[in-house]
Structure 1
Amino acid sequence: MIQAIGLTSRPRGGRPPAVRDLTFEAEEGTVTALLGEPGAGKTAALRLMLQLDSGRGIALYDGRPLSRLPAPAREVGAVLGDVAGHPARTVLSHLRMLAAAVGVPAARADALLTHVGLDALADDRLDALSLSMDRRLGLATALLGQPHSLLLDDPVRDLPRREAAFYYALLRELAAAGVCVVLATDQPRVAARFADRVLTLRAGRLVADEEADDFARLRLRPCVLIRTPQSERFASYLTRQASTPERRIEVVRRDGGALAVYGTDSAAVGELAYRNGILLHQLTDSSHESVPTAVPEPGAPEAVTPEATAPAATRTATATLEPGTDTETHAGPPRADGDTPPAGTFIPAPVAGPDDAPLAGPLRRRWLPGPAYPLRYELRRATSGSRLPRVAAAGTLAASIAGAALLAHSAGGSAVSDAPAVRMLTGWAPFLPLPPAAIGAGLLGAHAFGQEFSFPSLTPAVGAVPRRLGLLFAKLAVSTAVALLLFVAVLLADATALLVLFGDVVDMPADGGLQLLSWAGVTVGCAWTGVLAAGLFTSASLGLAAVLTVPVAVAPGIHALAGTGAVRRLGELPVQLMRVLHIPRPGGGPNLGGVFGVPAQPFGHALVLSLGALLGAYVLTAGRARSLGRALERSGCPSFVRRVFNSPGE
C-alpha cells in the first residue's frame, strides 16, 4: 500500500507550488491513475513520493517512508523517463549492469527481458531501440528488484495504440500479482479503461477521487464532435430542434470552432445538418471528460453554478466555454459534515495560498543510494558500452611505440643502449608531460566517473551520481587493474618494437626494474587522480585536465619551493625510510632506492599532494553533501554547483 499525506512541493521562481496538500491511498494489487492536464502536478507528485524533490508531507510504502527502507530499489520501482544508458551498450549488458546495482543475480535480468518481450533484442544497442522497446526496457529496469510498489510517469506517451495496450496489459499482470501501481496520465479514456481508481488533479490539488467505473459512467460521457464554418447557427439549431422533453441536447464549444454535442448521436446530428443546409467538415463519435480545465488564481474560490452541480443525465441548459477550454465546469460544493466524499463525487479544492502548510512536516530530498554490489557493477560498466577504453588503449600503445622509437633514433640509430632504458621502455618522448601509459590511465580513470554523469544509469530521474565511498573504492580498484595492465602492455609493446626496428635489446641498469615499478605507481596515481577529479568536478574532461595539471602546473610549483626546508626534508623521506627499514645501500645488496626515485622528485610530491587534496575533497562532499546541498540551494548558487553536491535541481 502507498499512502501520500499532505504532499506539497516547494515554490520555485515566484510561482505557486506545483502540488498542494495532496493526500490519497493506493491499495496493493490495484492500478491507481493520477489524471490531469499537463501542468496539473502529476510528475511533481511522483517526484515528491520518491523524495527526488524537497517539500512538505510524507509518502509511506507499507507504513514506512522511502528513506527508512533498507533496500529502496527492491521495494519501490519507478519509471520517470526514457532509459538513460550509454547508447553503445547492449540491452542485456545494460540490464545486467543495473542488476548488480540493485543487488539481484544476472539471471533476473535475463528473465525480465523475456517477460517484457525484449529477449529477441538482447544484443541490440540501446540507440537502436524504438520508442516502444525503450519503454519496455525502462519497465524491466524498474522491476529488477521485484518491488511491491511501482510508480510510472505517463509510460505510454507517444506510443502506438497496440504498444500502449501491451504495456498496460503488463501493468495489469503486475497488479494481479499484488503490486501497487500508481501511474500518471493525461488521457481520461486510458485511466477509465486500465485503472481501478482515478484521482483527478487540477492546479496541484486533488479534485476528484473515484472508482474507475464511476469515473467512466459520470464523467467520461459519449459525445459527437462537429466542425462546421456555421458553428453559431448550427448550435442554436441543435438546442432548439434536436432537444425533446425526454432528451435534452447539450452543446459545448471547443478549440478551433469545434462543437461537442452531448445527449444525441451522429446520425441525428447529420440529419439535422442536412435539413437546415449546414455544411459539416467533421462528424465523429467521441468521448470527453467533463472536468474543469481552467485553472483558478491562487486563493480565489472556484465558480460553482447550479447547472454544474446537477447530474449529467438531468442537465438541460446549454454550456458555452471560452476559447481554449475543453469542457464545462463540473465541481460540486463542499460538504458541511467534514466527512470524506463517497466515491464518484468531487472533492472541493480548498481556498489556500502558497504558504499553507500540510499536516506532515518537511519532506527532504532523499540521499541517493549507491550500488548494492559496487565492484560487480563497475566491472560490468567498464566492460560494456563505450568504445573509448579500447580507443584510448590503442592510442596509448601507438604513442608509446612512437616515443620509444624516437628516443632510440635520437640516441644514435641502432645504438639502443645509448638511450635511457627506462625512458625508452615507457615511451616517454621529451615533448609529452607524462609517459603515454600515465596519460592513458588518467583518461580511463576520468572516463570511469565521467560516463556516470553523461549517462546517469544509476539515477536517471536525478542526473546526479551517488557519492558513496563504496562506489569510489570500486572505481579505484578497477582503475588500478586497468592502469597496471596498460603499463605492462606498453612495456611489452615498446620492447618488441625496439627489437624489431633496431635489432637490439634494451640494456637495463641495475635498478631498472625498481624504477619501472616506481613508474607503475605513478601510472596508478594518475588513474586515481582522473577518477577523483572526474567524480568531484562531474566531468571526464575536467578529470583528464587535473591529471595533466600535475606535471604542468603543480610540479613546477613544488620545484620552485625545493630550496625550502620543508620540501628538502620531504625529499629526504625515502632515505630516512630506507634507514628505518634497514635497506642495504648500493653494493651491499638489493637497492630499493629506485622505488622511491620518482616519489622523491617534485613530480612525485605534486602527485601525492594532488591525490590527497582530491580524496579529501571527495570524502568531504560525500559526508556533507546533504547539508551543503541545502545551503547552496538556499543561497541561490548556479545549478552546476548544486549538482556537485547532489543538491535538488530546478
Structure 2
Amino acid sequence: MAEPTAAAAGSAPGAAVRAEDLTWLRRGKRIVDGVTLDVPAGVVTGFLGANGAGKTTTLRLMLGLITGQGRTTYFGSPLEHWRDPARVVGVVMGGVAGHPRHTVAAHLRMVAAGAGVADNRVEEVLERVGLTATTGKRLEELSLGMAQRAGIAQALLGDPAALFLDEPANGLDPHSIRWLRDTLRQLAEEGKAVLVSSHLLAEMQHLADRVVVLARGRVVAQTAVGDLARMGAEVTVQSPRVADLAEAVRTLGGTFRLLGDGRASIRGISRFQTGDLAAERGIPLHWLDEKALSLEDYYLSVAEEEFRIP
C-alpha cells in the first residue's frame, strides 16, 4: 500500500489515526483498559495522564510494539499493511536511541538507509530541527534538549503523516520547550496528525488543540482545549450586598458560593450576566473577575480517581 501524505491526511479530518478498545494486561491486572481514541490530522492532540496511568503502554500498543487486544488503524488500515511505515508514523520516545559513539549524522544516515530514505533527507531534517552545526557530535555528547531534537529529526526522516511523542518536554529548559511547542504546532499546520503524551499540564494548555485524558488505564475524557473557556468559568465578585445576588444567580441556572469578606464564587453564568444581574437589582460591585477553566482544573476534575487510595 502506498504511503499517505500529510495533504492526504488533511483531507480526512478526525480519521487519521484511530485506536479502538485497546487492552493490555500484566500479571492479570489491566494496565490499559478498553482505550479508544482518535488522532485527527492537522491538530496537536495531547494525551494526558499521571505517571503510571498507562500512556506509554497505550502508545506501544498503537504502534504494535507490544501485543494486546483491540486494533489501531492509520488512515484506514493497520500499520503492518503499509508498505513504508516510516512514511506513515514517526515516533519519539526518550530522545534518540543509537550507539553513543556514533555521530548524529552517521546515526541518522543508518536509520534513513533502513527506512529506504535517501541520504539527502538527513540534511533536510537536521536543518528543520536546528542541528546543522552539531552533525559531527557524538550521541553521547548531546544535551537533553539536543537529544530531543535529534529524536524528532529521526522521526521526520520518512516525512510521516503522523507523529507520536512520549513525554517530549521532560527535563527541557524553557528555550527548548518553546522550540518544541513551535515545531509541533508548525507540523500540525502542515497537516500532520500529532499525538503528544505528557503530564505537564501547563505546557500542554499552550501546545494542544485537543486533549485525551487517561486515568488508571482508561480514557475518562476528551475535549478541545478551546472549549475549556466555556466549561465552567468562575466569576468572582465582591460587594457589601453580595448575598443578595444568590437567588438571581440560581434563577439563571448558576451556582453561588460565599467566600467571605464580601466575596462570592459564581459558576454557570458569565461575568456579563453577573454584572447585569447586579445592575438590575442596584447591587454595587467592588470587584468582578472571570477566570476560565484551566487545563489543570479540568484534568483534576475528570481524573480525580487517579489520586484516590485503593
> Normalised by the shorter chain, which TM-score bucket?
0.7 to 0.9
Query: CA, structure 1 residues 66+106, in 2 after alignment: closer, same or farther (shift >3 Å)?
Result: same
Compute the displacement of 1:244 (Å). 3.1
Partner of 1:632: none
Partner of 2:11: none
Q: Secondary structure at the match of 1:140?
A: helix
Q: Secondary structure at the match of 2:33?
A: coil
Report if aligned partners of 1:30, 1:176 keep a CA contact under 8 Å in 2.
Answer: yes
Partner of 1:125: 138
The whole-number CA distance in structure 1 between the counterparts of 2:235 and 2:169 is 23
1:51 aligns with 2:64: yes
Higher share of residues assigned strand: 2
Partner of 2:217: 204
The whole-number CA distance in structure 1 between the counterparts of 2:51 and 2:157 is 30
Higher relative contact order (CA 8 A, sep 6+): 2
1:5 aligns with 2:13: no
The whole-number CA distance in structure 2 between the counterparts of 1:222 and 1:71 is 53
Partner of 1:241: 260
Q: Secondary structure at the match of 1:105?
A: coil
Compute the displacement of 1:239 (Å). 6.2
Compute the displacement of 1:243 (Å). 5.2
1:187 aligns with 2:193: no
1:166 aligns with 2:185: no
The whole-number CA distance in structure 2 between the counterparts of 1:58 and 1:134 is 31
Report if aligned partners of 1:222, 1:287 keep a CA contact under 8 Å in 2.
Answer: no
Query: CA, structure 1 residues 287+47, in 2 after alignment: closer, same or farther (shift >3 Å)?
Result: closer
The whole-number CA distance in structure 2 between the counterparts of 1:242 and 1:117 is 54
1:116 aligns with 2:129: yes
1:289 aligns with 2:297: yes
The whole-number CA distance in structure 2 between the counterparts of 1:75 and 1:287 is 30
Compute the displacement of 1:115 (Å). 0.8
1:254-289 Cα offsets, whole Å, 9 max, x none, are: xxxxxxxxxxxxxx9xxxxxxxxxxxxxxxxx9842
Query: CA, structure 1 residues 140+221, in 2 after alignment: closer, same or farther (shift >3 Å)?
Result: farther
The whole-number CA distance in structure 2 between the counterparts of 1:95 and 1:147 is 15
5 Å-filtered alignment, 1:251-262, equals none
Report if aligned partners of 1:195, 1:212 keep a CA contact under 8 Å in 2.
Answer: yes
Report if aligned partners of 2:33, 2:217 keep a CA contact under 8 Å in 1.
Answer: yes
Compute the displacement of 1:143 (Å). 0.6
TM-score normalized by structure 2? 0.73
5 Å-filtered alignment, 1:16-31, equals 16-31=29-44
Report if aligned partners of 1:30, 1:180 keep a CA contact under 8 Å in 2.
Answer: yes
Structure 1, unaligned runs of 5 or more:
224-237, 250-267, 269-285, 297-323, 326-650
Q: Tell me which amino acid in the other structure corresponds to 2:297.
A: E
Paired-residue identity, %: 39
Compute the displacement of 1:216 (Å). 5.5
Query: CA, structure 1 residues 294+71, in 2 after alignment: closer, same or farther (shift >3 Å)?
Result: same
For residue 86 of structure 1, the aligned residue among 91, 96, 99 is 99
The whole-number CA distance in structure 1 between the counterparts of 2:262 and 2:73 is 51
5 Å-filtered alignment, 1:84-483, equals 84-215=97-228, 218=231, 241-242=260-261, 244=263, 247=265, 288-290=296-298, 291-292=300-301, 293-295=303-305
Report if aligned partners of 2:39, 2:193 keep a CA contact under 8 Å in 1.
Answer: yes
Report if aligned partners of 1:35, 1:199 keep a CA contact under 8 Å in 2.
Answer: yes
Compute the displacement of 1:64 (Å). 0.4
Structure 2, unaligned runs of 5 or more:
1-15, 237-256, 268-286, 288-293
Compute the displacement of 1:192 (Å). 2.0
Query: CA, structure 1 residues 23+96, in 2 after alignment: closer, same or farther (shift >3 Å)?
Result: same
Compute the displacement of 1:195 (Å). 1.1
Compute the displacement of 1:222 (Å). 11
RMSD in angstroms over aligned alpha carbons? 2.6
1:144-170 Cα offsets, whole Å, 9 max, x none, are: 011101111011111112211101211
The whole-number CA distance in structure 1 between the counterparts of 2:58 and 2:109 is 30
For the pair shown, which has the larger CA radius of gyration, 1 or 2? Answer: 1
